[in-house]
Amino acid sequence: MEKPTLDPHPPLADDRPLNGSGSVFAPSQGFALGAISWNKGLIAVCAIVCALIGLGLGLLRAPTYTASATLQVGQVNPNSPGFLGYVQSASSLATAFSRAIGAAPVLAQVEKKLGLPATDAVPRLAAEPIPLSPAFRVIATGDSADSAMRLANVTATAVVAYESKANSANPQANSLLAGYREASAALRQAENKVDDLAGSGDRAALIQAEAQANAARVKLRGIDSAYVAAVTSQAPREGLISVLAGATSAESDRDSKTQLYAFLGLLAGIALGCLLAVGREHRRLSHLT
């Protein structure tokens, strides 16, 4: 009877292939991919564990609440002939007015009403113009829904007061008013001088006094016209900007942050599982040497 021949190259204990040269002493070019495919269970366990850790961290994290108040520039009248042009110009004004949340008078009002210093209020405040509309939002954050809503509403009210005062005040008008008072006093003095010289018989002095009085009168009229023009060009104190909708609710970031942490944990777990799988196969090859 013919004896069976023995295979000089018996198979390994598992079905993992050798490298391209037939040796188990060095990893092949696709070793990493092979290690990952041979250790899918290990990678899955690492991914699940890390995802659960991320989920737990997200649930334990203190949530941040966000509230917003909407402010409107001017009065919107869709039936007016220049409505389209108004919306375009008011949109630009809304972008400019939205930057007022960081103004010192606004932050001073926030500190006065809420006891929140400017250094703490600024990181919690933001402004967001609404595209293609004459409005913008004042966005505030806080550790509770009530604190976020109060900060948004107080800041919105402070912005309205600040912009109304800043745009209705004309420094030139105040200067002209002071000049009008001085010119009025100068005219009175010149007229009194004319009255004193009227019966003195000094014709030359009387003519000079009358010329001074006429010059003072012309100056007073010029200042008067300039003051009236400056006052009428001022913006109205009310209606320039108003609160369209106050903050009545706040959104929590607990769900979004929890999902983000769980997803990041899942990615970290997959990466960790892949590293462990490659290391495991390296150790297996080293034991075969």
Burial 123-146 (b: 16+ CB within 10 A, else e): ebbbbebbeebbbbbbbbbbeebe
Residue 52 has a pLDDT of: 92
Instruction: Let me know: does 101 contact 155? Beta carbons within 8 Å.
Output: yes
Strand 241-245 and strand 251-252: the pairing is unpaired
To the nearest 10°, report the CA torsion of 13, 17, 20, 22. 20
pLDDT one-digit tens code per residue, 28-37: 547 778 888 8
Per DSSP (E only), the strands in the chain are 65-73, 125-129, 135-142, 241-245, 251-252
The Cβ-side half-sphere exposure at 34, using a 13 Å CA radius, reads 14
Of the candidates 167, 168, 164, 158, which has an alpha carbon nearest to the alpha carbon of residue 69?
158
Q: Identify the pLDDT of residue 1.
A: 44
Amino acid at site 86: Y
Residues with pLDDT less than 70, the chain: 1-29, 74-90, 92, 166-174, 176, 199, 201, 227-239, 289
Q: What is the pLDDT of residue 230?
A: 61
Domain annotation for the chain: domains and CATH numbers: 31-61+257-288 (no CATH), 65-169+237-252 (3.30.1890), 171-232 (1.10.287)
Q: Which residue has the tokens 């334990």?
A: 60
Contact 135, 179 (CB under 8 A): no
Q: Give the per-residue pLDDT at 141.
A: 92
160-164, long-range: CB < 8 A, 24+ apart:
160/71, 160/241, 160/242, 160/243, 161/105, 161/109, 162/100, 162/103, 162/105, 162/106, 162/109, 163/97, 163/100, 163/240, 163/241, 164/237, 164/238, 164/240, 164/241
Q: How far apart, in Å, are the Cα atoms of 101 and each of 116, 153, 164, 167?
A: 14, 12, 14, 15
CA distance readout (Å), 136 to 32, 68, 196, 204, 246: 53, 10, 65, 68, 12
In the prediction, which pLDDT does 49 show?
92
Non-local (6+) Cβ contacts of 288 within 8 A are 24, 25
Give the helix/strand (H/E) hosting 58: helix 40-60
pLDDT of residue 7: 46
Amino acid at 237: R
Q: Which two tokens stand for residue 160?
A: 């309205």
Alpha carbons 241 and 269: distance in angstroms, whole number: 52
